[in-house]
Chain A
């Protein structure tokens, strides 16, 4: 299993004393963490605790003001080249899917490989079809996003991100906008991805998923990491009062 105090060398992502403000509001407070290659992290915490902000800083959708973020050896800074390089290696799945409504499922998956990686159309298409197959939605390739259910849309969003062949996948509450009966199909897709060895950081309240898949659960509150532990330990023996309270709230309903 994994060791939370990973060395720099085998870490895919490291955050060192990262701080972020929105104006006067401090959204991230001295966050230091690292994620190994192939490691699956579940990030949880009450709303407003900074978990989404944290993963959005990793691919620079939000700028951070202090500290260092390093992905696969690339240091994220104001340098646009580094941002480009990191975004090509880091895939992201959003709560609201954010599929492009004017493009078919297939075109959604082909756009970035063609425009950001310069792939030929035929190559982008075969890659897209293979990944749509992998998320079990190949038969919908010619449809538009609005013609799919939420669960199908989110699986397409996962395939779209995978088409860039990322080394890391970030999930920002991927099942929160879904009707309950569609949560499983998306989680199953994510479990499959985890089993294939993808490095993943998932912001989610799906504690069943955390138990099954996570190597480590990180609990955040008020912009800071409160504690992190392998799921068995995290759920059975949380160290902090704040964590116990949170788990009590989300597990007892």
Chain B
């Protein structure tokens, strides 16, 4: 093999790549927060007594889970301006990631809520709490704890999916690396490095979730 490895463009581009990592983190964290809000709100609607709300959520989840993320992000990027909302690529990407992750989160969290015994709801109601209070103060935390491993892998996936946001030139790692690659033609070196960076980012995400879990869900169960 007479290919000569040359990491010089990668080393020269390191500050940009690290900023790209930060961009990816930003997209992932903001996207996740939005996804959690959509996920919890969606579960409330999905399990509400109102048929229209339930069907709206079923439809939302089906549409998002059965269409490609790349199409969703393009759709948002080009459809939002038609609705009079002109957003930069990065906020658009955050919204797209939040909506996409939220649809998956709805189904995951719903599974967690269903895993909580009916007795918990009854005990809350018998104590004079309203249904919404029972959900918020009694059901939600044990439900999230039950499905936290699934939620973690879904959100690591969301972090990696943020690379698709390079298609609308949002500021993140893949977009930065594409630029360095097209300037230097050092494709292997660039993507080798980027692969390693994504691995580190995923690992950090999992650590973050484990840390959060150890803090927030630190109550014993039998």
Contacts and interface: CB of A to CB of B under 8 A. Distances in A.
B126 A115 contact: no
Contact of B220 (A61, A88, A103, A144): A144
Contacts of A61: 122, 125-126
Contacts of A112: 124, 127-129
A94 B119 contact: yes
B133 A115 contact: yes
A116 B133 contact: yes
Interface string B103-134: 00000000000000101101111111110010
B133 A146 contact: no
B119 A96 contact: yes
The size bracket of the interface on B is 20 to 34
A158 to B, nearest CB: 12
A144 B219 contact: yes
B83 interface: no
A96 B119 CA distance: 8
A102 B145 CA distance: 10
Nearest to B142: A102
Contacts of B203: none
A200 B124 CA distance: 20
B31 to A, nearest CB: 27
B130 to A, nearest CB: 8
A164 B221 contact: no
B147 interface: no
Contacts of A87: 125-128
Contacts of A239: none
Interface in A56-95: 59, 61, 84, 87-88, 90-92, 94
Contacts, number: 72
The secondary structure that dominates the B interface is helix
Contacts of B137: 111, 115
A235 interface: no
A61 to B, nearest CB: 5
A161 interface: yes
Contacts of B130: 84, 116
Interface in A15-70: 59, 61
A147 B128 CA distance: 26
Contacts of A146: 219-222
Contacts of A111: 127, 129, 137-138
Contact of A59 (B126, B138, B221): B126
A116 B127 contact: yes
B109 to A, nearest CB: 16
Contacts of B138: 100, 111
B123 to A, nearest CB: 4
Interface of A: 59, 61, 84, 87-88, 90-92, 94, 96, 98-103, 111-112, 115-117, 144, 146-147, 157, 160-161, 164
